[in-house]
Amino acid sequence: MGFDKARTQMKGQTSDFALQASRERRTHLTDAELKLWRRLRGRQLGVKFRRQHPFKGYVLDFVCLEQGLVVEVDGAQHAEQQARDEARTLVLREAGMRVLRFWNNEVLNQTDDVVAEICRVLDGGD
């Protein structure tokens, strides 16, 4: 599948800006990102997730490289930058990744449902 392609493309393609931004963002997670990270970390879902991971000039909120799954947690600012998000999603899909997007309020108020959807996709449901 495209997961190995994504891993291969990661090597040598991380800009200094994206690398620095990812390091900073790891220490400044939003409330929603922190709440979701508590459910994803430590292989709780049976796979390893990384947080604030640099990839092709972007910083991914959460990614499971072995399953080729990106999980984005979007705040209100994303309502105004849909074109940019769509372009980013296209780049990720071309690299063989699947992308899930959730709004902050979904993660904060319906955490179990969000985690269930992530599990469903990890189990092969698209």
Over the stretch 63-87, which tens digit does the pLDDT of each residue have? 999 999 999 998 866 556 788 888 8
* Over residues 17-40, mean pLDDT: 73
DSSP 4-69: HHHHHHHTT---HHHHHHHHHHHTS--HHHHHHHHHHGGGTTSS--EEEEEETTEEEEEEETTTTE
Report pLDDT for 79: 56
CATH 3.90.550.10 fits domain 3-121 = no
Report pLDDT for 9: 45
Query: Per-residue confidence at 2, pLDDT binned at 50, 70, 90?
Result: very low
92-113 pLDDT, tens digit per residue, is 999 999 999 999 999 999 999 9
